[in-house]
Amino acid sequence: MDRVVLLLSVLSLGVSSQPITDSQHQFSTAVSRVQTLHLLAQSLFSNFESKLPTEDQRQLNKIFLQDFCNSDYIISPIDKHETQRSSVLKLLSISCQLVESWEFPSRFLPGGSALRISPRLSELKTGIQVLKTASQDGAEMFSDSLPLQLAPYGNFYQSLGGDELLRRNYELLACFKKDMHKVETYLTVAKCRLSPEANCTL
Amino acid sequence: MKGLYVAAHSVTFCARMKRDLGLALLLLLSVAAESNSMSPPGKPVLLSCRSPEKETFTCWWKPGSDGGLPTTHRLYYETEKLEGSHECPDYHSAGRNSCFFDRKHTSIWIDYYLTVVASNALGNATSDTFKMDVMEIVKPNAPENVTLQVMKREDNPYLHVRWEQPCGTDTKSGWVTIKYELRVRQENSNEWKEYTSGTQTQFNLYNINPGVMYIVQVRCALDHGSWSEWSNSTSVKMLNYPQKSFWILVSTLSAVPFITAMCILVMKRKYVKLCLLAPIPGPKISGVDVQLLKSGRSEDITNALIINQSFPPMVAWKDETEEYLIVSDDGLLPDPSNSQKRKKSLIIPTGFHLNLEIQCKESTRGQSDWDKVEERKKEIDNFLKSNMSLSVESLSNMEPTQLPNPSNHNGDAESTVWPLANAGYVDIQRHESTQEVDVKEVDYSRVTEVNGDSILILQKEKVSGYMDVQRQEDNIPEDYSRVKEVAGENTVLLQRQNVSADSSCREKGNQYTDCTNPKPRNPHVTGSSKVGVCTQLTCSGYVDTIPANL
């Protein structure tokens, strides 16, 4: 009888520990994927900038003062304190939204199609969704605050000419880089919060 | 009149004078003011901003000319999130002409618009707006406490480099991910070799040479952002390995005498072989010359092998049928009651008795024959006695027993049993028989019975020729007993054989046979019957000769 109890407890421990290690593994995968995307965004941006004549760079910098990113409607923590205050689920949800918001526009990124940005984003979104469902066990359903709004920016992606095109590409690349950095930070914080190890980034 | 004229003239002259003086004064003042550079400040320039850990940041500016007057600089910023302009929270923590934004005032992923305003008594000057995002200005400090260690391993030493992450970076909560890079150069070289360490704070450098000083530097980057400055140089020198060269020297030195020894061995291998592997002398037979054997002359060989060549001529055997003598081992003397039988027993064994049975038909023999037999027997007995006296001591205590048949002259056998000496030598003298026969008496002894190991029964008979002519019994075949085998010291095993008359036993090889005449069958042949002598030297090595010289 004792043996049976012991065996059952061991089994249950084994079973329960399984999802933790699985989620850790999935987190690691998601983090590495987003890091790749961030690096790609950085390389695209720096590539684009290097091709511009210096004069235009300054101008663009000034012009960019007025503009905004298409993901600005997504409210996300903007400092460390706020980030650490947010729950894992919230972080995952925001990350998912951010990634989703770029699935379509990433096709217009200059050089993005060659690097398969869109498929990577789709894969990342799937992974984050899996993590979301895993951490949603027992927690409240966190509903997405805002639906994806494409309509107001429909014109945004119309083909433009000359300087407009240049400006638009610059904006896209800058925004993409920023958003990828955000997702990377959020996912890493979420992963380390769930990880039992001391130094989870190592 | 004149006075008025003069007064009016002087008043005009004074006004002019005042005006000029005022102008001159103004001129002087302006000149003085210019030489003192009192002016509104020049336009300051924002240089850069930097965040070492993605939580705070600092911005620096360069002031313009101050206009000779004490000038103050103020930094104002605007963000997307905040309404209106805000002034720098901290002008002092980061030094002169800087503004430090602490955690509360730092937001990431939003744009900051900064301006610096320089103002003095005479005016203000505003710098150009500087737009920045904290995300883009992250540049960590260099890694700290870089240590080098030489790890000694068998034939494969390596350098172990260790460092710590820069102060303040929060990798524990995952806020930042840090990666490292290090570079190495040798002391006397300007070439750096770079390695990526990833997120580990240690690194192993293989492929290093002893006796060379190595200089190592490390740097890091946060979130794939800008790289930090290289850390201070840390250097270490690896010691030489004296053991290795020492052992190489020793082995080379010891190899030289070894090689010399091998050479000597090889050159003198014959001598060495002789020394170590001495030849074993082969067997040698005295009197036999191996070379002679090799040369292969048969006569010489046989001469060499046969020591004693004095074989008397042999009579050829006839009817070689082997017959064994019946030897009965009983201590009793033959039954004297058997009148038909005539027993003669001679000797021999140590303790054995042999009885010789001779069956003779009484009818065939004449009286004279019996007498002869008796006589002979007595002679034998006498002889034996005389011979035995020599070796009485060694004899077992067996006395010749006389058979209690002195009265039996007719057909009763007298048997005398004599134990033989160990020498086993029986020499039976020639019986000088009165009976004249043409045939030369043959001096031989017939062994009639064989019993056991050391039995020799000799029966001396006098026969004409070599034949046992008296015998008419077919059961007892005539003739000679051939020594079949010499067994032991005392024993001669005999077999009775009838040599066929036709046996011309010339044998080949190492048998020396010489048969001169066939042996005639007719027992009654007397006279000049030539008798062949066969000497056969068989493989068993016995010589059976019956000389027959006619």
User: What is the tens place of the pLDDT at every residue in B72-123?
Assistant: 899 999 998 888 999 999 999 989 999 999 999 999 999 899 999 998 888 8
Strand pairing class (B234-237; B213-222): antiparallel
Question: Does ipTM surpass 0.95 in this model?
Answer: no
Contact A79 B174 (CB under 8 A): no
Q: Among A34, A81, A185, pick the best mutation site for testing chain B contact (most B Cβ within 10 A).
A: A185
Q: Residue A199: list chain B partners with CB under 8 A.
A: 171-172
In degrees and rounded to multiples of 5, residue A32 shows phi and psi of -65, -35
Alpha-carbon gap, residue A197 to A24, rounded angstroms: 11
Whether residue B201 is predicted with pLDDT greater than 70 in this model: the reply is yes
Mean pLDDT of chain B: 68
Residue A139's Cβ-count burial label (10 Å; 0-12, 13-18, 19+) is: exposed
Residue B411: CB atoms within 10 A of its CB come to 16
* Partner residue facing B107 (CB), from A79, A185, A201: A79
Cα(B76)–Cα(B71) distance, rounded to whole angstroms?
Answer: 16
Nearest to A199 among B54, B110, B171 (CB): B171
Position B436 pLDDT exceeds 60: no
pLDDT, position B360: 42
Q: Which residue of B has its CA nearest to A199?
A: B172
Average pLDDT of B321-325? 60
Mutate to test the interface with A, among B172, B197, B202 (most CBs of A within 10 A): B172
What are the counts of helices (DSSP H) followed by strands (DSSP E) for chain B? 6, 25
Do residue A83 and residue B175 have CB atoms under 8 angstroms apart? yes
Q: With bands split at pLDDT 50, 70 and 90, how would you rate the model's confidence at A116?
A: confident
Contact: B103, A81; criterion CB under 8 Å = yes
Rounded average pLDDT over B52-72: 89
What residues in A contact B199, CB-CB < 8 Å? 201-202
Find, among B401, B393, B407, the residue nearest to B355 by Cα. B401
Are the beta carbons of B545 and B314 closer than 8 angstroms? yes
- Give the pLDDT confidence score for residue B117 in this predicted structure: 92
Question: Which residues touch B313 (CB under 8 Å, ≥6 apart)?
Answer: B514, B516, B533, B535, B545, B547, B548, B549
pLDDT band at residue B320 using 50, 70 and 90 as cut-offs: low
Beta strands of B420-473 (E only): which ranges? 446-447, 458-459
- The partner residue sitting opposite A198, judged by closest CB among B129, B172, B201, is B172
CA distance B421 to B392: 8
Q: Which residue carries 């999802």 as its tokens?
A: A19
Residues of B in contact with A193 (CB under 8 A): 173-174
Q: Which residues touch B239 (CB under 8 Å, ≥6 apart)?
A: B150, B210, B211
CA B30 to chain centre: 113
CA dist., res. B477 & res. B498, Å (int): 7
Task: Inspect the interface and report whether the beta carbons of B171 and A61 lie closer than 8 Å.
Answer: no
- B55: chain A residues, CB-CB within 8 Å: 79-80
Q: Which of B51, B103, B128, B177 to mutate to test the interface with A (most CBs of A within 10 A)?
A: B177
pLDDT for residue B121? 87
C-beta of residue B80 within 8 angstroms of C-beta of residue B100: no
